[in-house]
A = this chain, B = another copy of it.
Amino acid sequence: MHQDYIKPDNWSIIEEGFDRDSVKSSESLFSLGNGRMGQRANFEESYSGETFQGSYIAGIYYPDKTKVGWWKNGYPEYFAKVLNAPNWIGIDIEINGENLDLNTCVSVDNFRRELNMKEGWYHRSFEAKLQNGTEISVNVCRFLSMELDESGCIHYEITPKNTDAKIVFKPYLDAGVHNEDANWEEKFWEPLGASHSGNEAFVTARTFKTHFTVTTFMHNAILLDGNAQAIDAERSSINNEKIVFGYAVAAAKGQTASIQKIGGYTASLNHTDTVLAAKDVIKSARAKGYETLLEEQAEAWAHIWEMSDITIDGDVKAQQGIRFNIFQLNQTYSGKDSRLNIGPKGFTGEKYGGSTYWDTEAYCIPFYMATKDQHVARNLLTYRYNQLDKAIENAAKLGFTNGAALYPMVTMNGEECHNEWEITFEEIHRNGAIAFAIYNYHRFTGDYSYIPEKGLEVLIGIARFWHQRATFSADKNQYVILGVTGPNEYENNVNNNWYTNYLAKWCIDYASQQIEKVKADFPADFARIMGKTKLDDVEILHWRKVADHMYFPFSEKFGVFLQQDGFLDKELVKVHDLDKSQRPINQKWSWDRILRSPYIKQADVLQGFYFFEDHFSMEQLEKHFDFYEPFTVHESSLSPCVHSIQAAVLGKMDMAYTFYLRTSRLDLDDYNKEVEEGCHITSMAGTWMSIVEGFGGMRVKDDVLHFTPRIPKEWKGYSFKINFRNQILKISVGANETKFSLEGDREVTVVVNGKAVSVEPNSLVTV
């Protein structure tokens, strides 16, 4: 794939020209989603070239039992797989007897894809010459309705250019799909039956083992030059898992034949009778009609953009990047369904088997907190509260006792569903991020009620875990934490990862403080929680011993905390001095070589400095940034945003801008050469942070919003909005001034560059 194959545009993602080598990457980038389901931008018509087929339904997964390597005690029985769902977008096309396949056409011209982010639709057009000589022009528009979120629509138009043509549209439903990551010929769906009536069809299948039942449905309508045609479908092939209809249309040269296909999924997660539900969805969609649905789609997206848009003036690639990020986040998670969460690849690929990682707490919550109603973030916290029992069970499986909680690394429903020991058992810092999110939520929203109601129990479970997980080293006369994987996953099973140790201590400190506070201010909650958790003062004293005597590896020579014990034994060659041919190292080097190298996949010590910026001086931050940045390869999507924010704080604006582009255009420019596997959804929230917290310098300190606006020299200005405690503050930063305006009813005082500024409702303040 060539760099810059995506055309710069403020509101759209655009590809021009047909390039077989870009098909899989574009399938990722042009993905559609509506929070309930999503799909890669696979062609509707058949394609014999390289493609990665993918449709996904939120909350539906397969538990793979395969055990490669040694089973480890404590593993979950299953490894969750994101499931490729039955295909409803498929429309095979026959033109004058020849099957349309862009891979075998004599020529393909003016191929163009557009993902219109403003209105939420995906368009594809091209001209093709078939082997039988027929020349056609094709326009396809597709969207997944935000409004009727179990359905989507396709409008597929064909115009023969040089001859009359018999065009056969063959829309189909197919549950006989495979996962990319399955074993030879392995299938995950068991067909339960197919039915049809008129222009409608239904295929019902259920997942093996998990028994999620899904009805995939379609309704088709045929038009000629925009006029509805009454054509009976030929059911050319029907079996238990696949239904194909055939609509033959005679289109004279220059006439446009088209099909409007409504399709989607109804799932047993939401309905008892999925076929009946599917019929209802079709009925609702047909009642509105294609044009109305498309208009409503634009309105729904206008509503989203109204609150969450970020504008950037004078830098179209930067503008396109942030909008792509915000668009994908909103395609992935709507906040409507509290059982769902934010999968790292959203609906754009199979990788990352579960839906929920620590990404949610560490990276996503700030975005949803500031661009949605407050309850959305609170729902995300509640998701973990609801899974506390399972986190305690999970910890018990690993030998922890007394209500210690270890949240899963990856989960669909609260159970761990990943089974690599160095991740599952050792990347325990995730527990810290979950505690931090509670702190962060309270800090930002001011809503303390969450803590006595729910959060404190989570904090207690987490503190208990850290207390038990630490080991007293007689040799050091301090507590150590052995055998962990930090945020930098290019180290495994290390001792005394500074970030983990620091977070562990902080979790105990924070939990202890909240216990005191709830005791003082919410005695009824306190009594309930103490009764439930059987916590007493003696236990807290034991916690405190660990927190107060935690070991932190430190290098006197370099004046920095060490990422982990032994870091200085490595050959400390900077990334800059590494041959470019060796990058990305995760595609060039074997794992052992990566592990013994000093290279950092994503911010690790610096992640700690990001969370706890106020615990350290600017000088300390700079020292650590300067020490670790040169070894950081940013091969995790979650890395550049943190470095961008810290570079901005340190006034290294060129670096901050470079990292901003890297985070915001990670997928669009495919920095890590893997976009064909899907987009990096959760890191997109990090992009948002790098503007708001990095350039905008937004912080909340003692219930007051602070800003330290900075602007990259490449930009004329930028703006963003913040929902701060139910009032909407808009911040517009220019080269020389910052403007604040407020949609709300109460005056807000903000601190700008250390100076308090009062912003009145519905007025503009310039600083």
Query: Which chain A residues have a beta carbon within 8 Å of chain B's beta carbons?
Result: 64-70, 72-74, 79, 181, 183-184, 186, 208-209, 397-399, 418-423, 425-426, 471-476, 480, 482-483, 492-495, 565-566, 568-572, 586-593, 595-596
Contact = CB atoms under 8 A, between A and B. Distances in A.
A183 B187 CA distance: 11
Given A79-B69, A419-B69, A568-B475, A590 B184 contact: no
A591 B72 contact: yes
A586 B72 CA distance: 8
A590 B66 contact: no
Given A73-B587, A184-B65, A590-B398, A569 B493 contact: no
Contact of A493 (B398, B590, B595): B595
A68 B67 contact: yes
Contacts of A482: 566, 569-570, 595-596
Of the candidates A397, A419, A422, A587, the one having the most CB atoms from chain B within 10 angstroms of its own CB is A422
A525 to B, nearest CB: 33
A67 B482 CA distance: 28
Contacts of A593: 398-399
A682 to B, nearest CB: 17
A183 B185 CA distance: 12
Contact of A79 (B68, B475, B571, B572): B68
A423 B72 CA distance: 14
A420 B183 CA distance: 18
Contacts of A397: 590
Given A65-B184, A72-B591, A492-B493, A569 B475 contact: yes
23 contacts: A64-B68, A66-B66, A68-B68, A68-B69, A69-B79, A69-B420, A73-B589, A73-B590, A74-B592, A183-B183, A397-B590, A398-B590, A425-B590, A471-B596, A473-B568, A473-B569, A474-B568, A475-B569, A482-B570, A483-B596, A493-B494, A565-B566, A566-B566
Nearest to A72: B591
Contacts of A69: 68, 79, 418-420, 423
Nearest to A565: B566
Contact of A572 (B419, B425, B426, B474): B474
Is chain A's interface secondary structure helix, strand, loop, or mixed overall?
loop
Nearest to A471: B571
Contact of A592 (B425, B568, B590, B592): B425
Interface centre among A69, A420, A425, A475 (most CB of B within 10 A): A69
A763 B13 CA distance: 94
B590 A399 contact: yes
B65 A183 contact: yes
Contact of A495 (B68, B72, B419, B569): B569
Nearest to A421: B591
B184 A183 contact: no
Given A69-B419, A397-B590, 11 more contacts: A65-B183, A68-B69, A70-B420, A72-B590, A74-B589, A422-B492, A471-B569, A471-B570, A471-B596, A473-B569, A493-B493
A474 B482 CA distance: 24
B419 A74 contact: no
A480 B569 contact: yes
Nearest to A208: B184
A257 to B, nearest CB: 44
A578 to B, nearest CB: 13
Task: Kindly list the 10 A-B residue pairs having the minimum CB-CB distance in the complex, ordered from nearest.
Answer: A74-B590, A425-B592, A482-B596, A475-B568, A398-B590, A72-B591, A69-B420, A473-B569, A483-B596, A421-B591
A452 to B, nearest CB: 33
A588 B396 CA distance: 12
Contacts of A492: 422, 492-493
Contacts of A568: 473-475
Nearest to A420: B69
A67 B181 contact: yes
